Amino acid sequence: MNLWHPVDRALWQGRDDSAEAPNALRLFQTIHNRGEFTPQRHNGNIALLGFECDEGVKRNQGRPGAAQGPDTLRKALANMASHAGHDRLVEMGNIRAEPDQLEAAQQALHDAALACQQAQMRTLVLGGGHETAFGHGSAILDAFPDERVGIINLDAHLDLRHAPRASSGTPFRQLALHCDAQQRGFHYSCIGASMAANTAALWDEAARRHVTVIEDLDVLNALEARVLPEIARSIDSYDRIYLTIDLDVLPAAEMPAVSAPAALGVPLALLLRIVEPLCRSGKLQAVDLVEFNPAFDRDGQGAKVAARLAWQITHWWQW
């Protein structure tokens, strides 16, 4: 597998309570970790992939450091208790970008995610910048060419930039062009977008692409009236759902460890209310968590928040 690297087994360690009871287990004790990239056909397992890349963040004039995110999040996940669903996690290693080689890294992530999907696995990708979304999202589209795939982005940013080169600000425009090339619909919803963080040109592009946008203020003030009905509509409308979560959708006080901390943001408790019905829908095909940057974390606070989000998604994920 191009640009693939195994994960250091030392990352998966924690407190051992197994002498207390047979089910007194933590994720480091239940994750399947063979130290190789060998997707095996199993309709129920979740392939855990890391994308060690912040080349897109650099191109987008952001704060680099997200390439270290996947392994830091693994450390935070390892010591969490293992409950129903967590034993489906299969460690599939990392795709590691080379300097200024974003496109090659996105292609390698695409190929890895596609191989896992074709083996009837779901994919959980730990980024990396939001350039992760093009590699991962295009793999889901390619895995299901004859199905309606809904793309749901929980994010302060629309990430629909026009730019001469791909970056962390372009992935959804790239996915739109990918859909155009396949002559299929581009079904994109962005929830949590900040008007203060997106120029009028980006809002115009969203309108031109018929993107469903729900602003951060509406999430905070009208969750029941606007957001949850939109989630229900998506579940009813699409055959498969790809969920991508930019951690900068969270308030800076909860998530300081991102390239662009949110002045307002959507608190984790509300975010989980959005995520839960998607996880329980039976249609959630793939998830990624992106933009975590351990260089700007405070006492591991951001890592704990992101890991809890990944933990909860895995626990709720049904199909």
| Model confidence pLDDT, tens digit, residues 258-301 | 999 999 999 999 999 999 999 999 999 999 999 999 999 999 99
- 159 a known binding residue? yes
pLDDT-based confidence at residue 44 (cuts at 50, 70, 90): confident
What's residue 92's pLDDT?
97
Q: Give the DSSP H/E element, type plus range, for residue 273.
A: helix 268-280
pTM of the model: 0.98
Share of the chain above pLDDT 70, in %: 100
Task: State how far the alpha carbon of 304 is from the alpha carbons of 118, 257, 271, 308, 311, in Å.
Answer: 32, 11, 15, 6, 10
Q: Which amino acid is at 123?
A: T
Helix, strand and coil percent figures for the chain, each rounded to 5: 45, 20, 40
What's residue 284's pLDDT?
98
Domain ranges of the chain: 4-316
pLDDT-based confidence at residue 97 (cuts at 50, 70, 90): very high
HSE-CB of 23 using CA atoms within 13 angstroms: 4
How far apart are alpha carbons 298 and 295 in whole angstroms? 9
How far apart are alpha carbons 117 and 4 in whole angstroms? 17
Residue listed under structure tokens 């596609």: 114
Contact 139, 117 (CB under 8 A): yes
What's residue 40's pLDDT?
84
- 16 a known binding residue? no
CATH superfamily of 4-316: Ureohydrolase domain (3.40.800.10)
pLDDT higher than 90, residue 41: no
What's residue 312's pLDDT?
98
- 315 a known binding residue? no
- 130 a known binding residue? yes
pLDDT higher than 80, residue 1: no
